[in-house]
Amino acid sequence: MVSKTMPDKPLGTQAAKSERTRQSILESANEIAQNEGVGNLTLARVAANAGISKGGLLHHFGSKQELIIGLLTETLDQADSDLNRLADANDRTSGAFAQAYLDFVRTSQHTNGTATGVFAAAALEDGDLTPARAMFDRWQHRLVAEDNIDQDIAMLARVVGDGLWLIDLFDLAPPSEAQRQRLFEFIEAQL
Amino acid sequence: MVSKTMPDKPLGTQAAKSERTRQSILESANEIAQNEGVGNLTLARVAANAGISKGGLLHHFGSKQELIIGLLTETLDQADSDLNRLADANDRTSGAFAQAYLDFVRTSQHTNGTATGVFAAAALEDGDLTPARAMFDRWQHRLVAEDNIDQDIAMLARVVGDGLWLIDLFDLAPPSEAQRQRLFEFIEAQL
DNA sequence: GGGATAAAACCGTCCAGCTGGTAGGTTTTT
DNA sequence: AAAAACCTACCAGCTGGACGGTTTTATCCC
């Protein structure tokens, strides 16, 4: 859902409107992939869902592959900025990013639709996972080499984070709230 | 790769040959999904890859969805039997299944193609993740309630296992061998 | 045993429907 | 006036699957 509030900055300009359209396309695509599966992610449906024509869509994304790549990078950037925000939010001198990594999973537990379709789309259709790999590389490096904590604990935090993320993503026998809580506590105690 | 050794039991019968064909279809489908992405998993290609006609394929799997479901359950059953074998292999009186869970990830690290496409296919196309959820539920229950170890440690083993599995699956900045090794040691020390 | 019969395993052809993408317009903003 | 943001046909190609064959295997009966 795109914000339908009044303009505030350089809004109302052509470029700004275009950007909003682009966003709504991305959101529509994400929505469809998430709710109906990547197999049903067609240009026509995305366009319809975004309230524009297919031609209009193709004006913004020259091909389906471009759309998928756009979707992937959008999600990654979003996650990265969330992580940075979370890392800044806690005032740890060590383990700030590890803490953020866990917080991210914790908070995105039920909002995780963001990545649901996207990730899979990029992984399986014709997309290219390179940007995702690059991003995970950065996170990994930041955890292990720049977070001022024990390397092994950093690794643990990351793997647990990824595991929970996967579990939540596909709803694969997710742990109870209590179990999840204790799991977080256990790891955070070691940061 | 289906065993091409000599007959041993009721082999050579019609039913046995049919079963072999079925298997080769499943293997072909898995191969394609893994190497070329689920988006390229078409009946024609699977048939060609399996060396039969599309009509023949549809004799074994009435629809594409049936094929995908077959692929999913096949993989799950395979994993389940591997887990059981691994659990029997170690002679722990407690934590046998948790140990097996970790061993599974460890050993399937580079053979993981088995699940690569399958899982995603079921998750995203038109498939139904229910069988996967059921299986993970069983594993989860067995870990937490029947493995005679601390519940929280069981949970930890599972989440770490799933995390590594995801990381290996998509090759997302996988940890080094040494890191991986220490991670396993850390958890196994607590079983 | 061996023909008759049926069922299972498989093949080749055809087609309606959808998909991504093109080409050429129109409107809107700069 | 020109560029950007859109839209409306339109189409070639592929896809799943239906359909009616044909061949192979199993079963029955004599």
User: For the segment B137-172, what is each residue's pLDDT rounded down to a tens digit?
Assistant: 999 999 999 999 999 999 999 999 999 999 998 889
| A141 in any annotated domain | yes
Question: Which amino acid does the sequence have at B6?
Answer: M
Same domain membership, residue A76 and residue A48: no
Give the C-alpha separation, A184 to A180, whole Å. Answer: 6
Which residue do the tokens 């999913």 mark?
B72
pLDDT number for residue A33: 87
User: Which nucleotide lies closest to A65 by the C1' atom and the CA atom?
Assistant: C20
* Residue A9 banded pLDDT, cuts 50, 70, 90: very low
Q: Is B15 within 7 A of strand D by CB distance?
A: yes
List, for chain B, all residue ranges whose pLDDT scores fall below the cut of 70: 1-17, 110, 112-114, 116-118, 120, 122-126
How many Å apart are A55 CA and C23 C1'? 11
- Rg of chain A, C-alpha, whole Å: 19
Number of domains within chain A: 2
- Measured in angstroms, what separates residue B151's CA from nucleotide C15's C1'? 58
Higher pLDDT, A136 or A116: A136
Are residues A88 and A179 both part of a single domain?
yes
CB-defined contacts A:B, below 8 A: 128
φ/ψ of B71, rounded to 5, equals -65, -45
Exposed / middle / buried, residue A35 (Cβ in 10 Å: 0-12, 13-18, 19+): exposed
* B153 and B105 assigned to the same domain: yes
C-alpha of B62 from chain center: 23
In this prediction, residue A62 carries a pLDDT of 96
Q: How far is CA B181 from CA B113, B178, B184, in A?
A: 21, 5, 5
Best probe of the A interface among B112, B124, B190, by most A CBs < 10 A, is B124
Alpha carbon dihedral B50, B53, B56, B58, in 10-degree steps, equals 90
**Residue ranges making up the domain that contains A114:** 70-188
Distance A79 CA to C9 C1' (A): 52
CB contact, 8 Å: B43 with chain A? no
Which residue of B38, B159, B171 to mutate against A (max A Cβ within 10 Å)? B159
Asked if residue A92 and residue A117 are part of one domain, the reply reads yes
Strand segments, DSSP code E, in A44-185 are none
- A14: the nucleotide nearest its CA (via C1') is C29
- B55 with B74, same domain: the answer is no
A31 and A78 both lie in a single domain: no
Residue A118 confidence (pLDDT): 67
Confidence category of residue A182, pLDDT binned at 50, 70, 90: very high
Cβ atoms of A143 and A154 closer than 8 Å: yes
CA of B54 to C1' of D20 (A): 15
Per-residue pLDDT band at A1 (split at 50, 70, 90): very low
Among the candidates A62, A86, A104, a domain finishes at: A62
pLDDT of A2 reads 35
User: B189: distance to nearest CA of chain A, Å?
Assistant: 14
Taking the CA of residue A72 and the C1' sugar atom of nucleotide C29, their distance in angstroms comes to: 30
A86 and A138 part of one domain: yes
Residue A143 placed within a domain: yes
Looking at the fold, whether B135 and B45 belong to one and the same domain comes out as no
Question: Environment class of residue B55 by beta-carbon count within 10 Å: exposed (0-12), middle (13-18) or buried (19+)?
Answer: exposed
- Is the alpha carbon torsion for B12, B18, B23, B28 positive or negative? positive
Which stretch of DSSP H or E encloses residue B36?
helix B14-36
Shared domain check, B75 and B57 = no
Degrees to nearest 5, angle at CA A182 with A34 and B169: 40
Q: Tell me: do A42 and A100 sit in the same domain.
A: no
DSSP H or E stretch at residue A166:
helix A151-170
> Both tokens of residue B122?
């079921």
Tell whether A182 is covered by a domain. Answer: yes
Tell me the percentage of chain A whose pLDDT exceeds 70.
83
Report if CB B48 to strand D is under 7 Å. no
- The nearest alpha carbon in chain A to B32 belongs to A124
Residue A6 has pLDDT above 60, yes or no: no
- What is the pLDDT at residue B113? 65
- A13's tokens: 């300009």
In a domain, A139, yes or no: yes
Q: Is residue A1 one of the residues assigned to a domain? A: no
pLDDT computed for residue A120 by the predictor: 67
pLDDT score for A177 = 94
| Lowest pLDDT segment from A61-75, A124-138, B4-18, B82-96 | B4-18
Asked if strand D contacts B44 at the CB level, meaning under 7 A, the answer is yes
Q: Given this model, what pLDDT does residue A22 score?
A: 96
Averaged confidence pLDDT in chain A: 87
C-alpha B167/C-alpha B177 separation (Å) is: 13
pLDDT band at A129 (very low <50, low <70, confident <90, very high): confident
Cβ within 8 Å of residue A147, ≥6 positions away:
A94, A95, A96, A97, A98, A154
**In this predicted structure, what is the pLDDT of residue A110?**
66
CA-wise closest residue to B155 among B68, B111, B97: B97
The answer to the question of residue A90 being in a domain is yes
B37–chain A Cβ distance below 8 A for any pair: yes
Tell me the nt nearest to B126, Cα to C1'. D16
> Which chain B residue lies closest to A187 (C-alpha atoms)?
B156
Based on the fold, state whether residues B140 and B87 are members of the same structural domain.
yes
- Which of B172, B180, B185 has the highest number of chain A CBs within 10 A, making it the mutation to test binding with A? B172
Which CATH number goes with the domain that contains A88?
1.10.357
Distance from CA of B64 to the nearest CA of A (A): 12
Task: List all nucleotides in chain D with at least one atom under 7 A from a protein Cβ.
Answer: 4-10, 14-21, 25-26
Cα-atom radius of gyration of chain B, to the nearest Å?
A: 19
